[in-house]
């Protein structure tokens, strides 16, 4: 397999590849005319791009009667060529976020990430408005696939360590994203993944937990969606040590969603534990298991 570099090392050759990407199947004459290159010059650039595996040749489709002579040859972008452009855009995005972090601080990166997923959340919300959890998770997978994430959904294995064998099962749904358009950028800026995970929790109305990400070297972005929840309400101001126990409004109840309902004495994180490590997940926290 050829080692494909981002299409930015040779300006003119990059322009040829970009034009093919934009126009689709194109003849050498069309490309040379658009870029103002001689037949010899455009041929040289096309041969180099073919050698690098960024473009390939095909026979042009003809409709109706074709005249004499050999069929026209057109040049098309390859999957490797598309990937090379994606990496070039990744470099630009990464440099922009580095500049933002240096000039405005890490909080600005987190705010940027939240704004990015806000549009996704707005577009997906109508499709996830009703139905059982399984239906909503499947709808989320379909929406993500339409945006190029190649997502799938299905039942999840029980998680939670020792507690999984007692009482009510902690298994829920599992959402898998087999492609991530921003993986290279998210490898340096995990705030992008964190904001997306929080959005999933709000869209599904239940705690979610990111188990693996492509950005961290895993083959698939995997998100566990909690299927068993225990919902309680408590007056604002009580037990202030718990997440979201206060809403900021006098007398307003805070909705607390606690993962699972198994009673396992001595096992941290379960209602029967007396160690004080139990954690509540609230609607204000975005439904993210932390």
Q: Residue 290 above 70 pLDDT? A: no
Q: Residue 8 above 60 pLDDT? A: no
Residue 121 pLDDT grade (very low, low, confident, very high; cuts 50, 70, 90): very high
The pLDDT assigned to 146 comes to 85
The pLDDT assigned to 4 comes to 46
The pLDDT assigned to 85 comes to 75
Residue 152 or residue 11, greater confidence: 152
The mean per-residue pLDDT over the stretch 183-190 comes to 92
Q: Residue 232 above 70 pLDDT? A: no
Q: Residue 257 above 50 pLDDT? A: no
Residue 209 pLDDT grade (very low, low, confident, very high; cuts 50, 70, 90): very high
The pLDDT assigned to 90 comes to 82
Residue 286 or residue 140, greater confidence: 140
The pLDDT assigned to 165 comes to 42
The mean per-residue pLDDT over the stretch 254-259 comes to 32
The pLDDT assigned to 266 comes to 37
Q: Residue 176 above 70 pLDDT? A: yes
The pLDDT assigned to 61 comes to 60
Residue 67 pLDDT grade (very low, low, confident, very high; cuts 50, 70, 90): low
The pLDDT assigned to 78 comes to 85
This prediction's pTM = 0.54
Q: Residue 22 above 50 pLDDT? A: yes
The pLDDT assigned to 24 comes to 78
Residue 220 pLDDT grade (very low, low, confident, very high; cuts 50, 70, 90): confident
Which of 111-115, 183-187, 228-232: highest mean pLDDT?
111-115
Q: Residue 251 above 70 pLDDT? A: no
Of 33-47, 117-131, 174-188, 237-251, the poorest mean pLDDT is in 237-251
Tokens of 282: 């609230």
């Amino acid at each position: 397999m050829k080692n494909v570099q981002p299409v930015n090392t040779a300006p003119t050759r990059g322009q040829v590849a970009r034009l093919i990407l934009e126009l689709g199947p194109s003849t050498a004459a069309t490309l040379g005319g658009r870029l103002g290159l001689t037949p010899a010059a455009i041929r040289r650039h096309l041969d180099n791009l073919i050698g690098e595996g960024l473009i390939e040749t095909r026979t042009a489709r003809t409709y109706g009667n074709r005249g004499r002579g050999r069929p026209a040859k057109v040049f098309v972008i390859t999957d490797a060529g598309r990937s090379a452009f994606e990496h070039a855009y990744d470099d630009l995005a990464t440099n922009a976020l580095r500049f933002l972090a240096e000039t405005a601080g890490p909080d600005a990166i987190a705010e940027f990430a939240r704004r990015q997923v806000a549009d996704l959340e707005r577009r997906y919300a109508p499709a996830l408005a009703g139905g059982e959890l399984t239906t909503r998770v499947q709808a989320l997978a379909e929406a993500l696939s339409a945006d190029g994430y190649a997502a799938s959904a299905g039942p999840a294995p029980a998680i939670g360590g020792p507690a999984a064998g007692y009482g009510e099962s902690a298994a829920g749904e599992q959402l898998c994203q087999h492609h991530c358009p921003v993986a290279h950028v998210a490898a340096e800026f995990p705030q992008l993944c964190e904001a997306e995970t929080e959005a999933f929790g709000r869209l599904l109305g239940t705690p979610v937990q990111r188990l693996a990400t492509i950005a961290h070297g895993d083959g698939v972005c995997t998100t566990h969606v909690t299927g068993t929840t225990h919902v309680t309400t408590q007056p604002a101001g009580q037990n202030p040590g718990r997440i979201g126990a206060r809403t900021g409004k006098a007398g307003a109840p805070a909705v607390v969603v606690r993962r699972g309902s198994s009673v396992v004495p001595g096992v941290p994180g379960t209602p029967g534990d007396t160690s004080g490590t139990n954690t509540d997940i609230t609607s204000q926290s975005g439904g993210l298991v932390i």
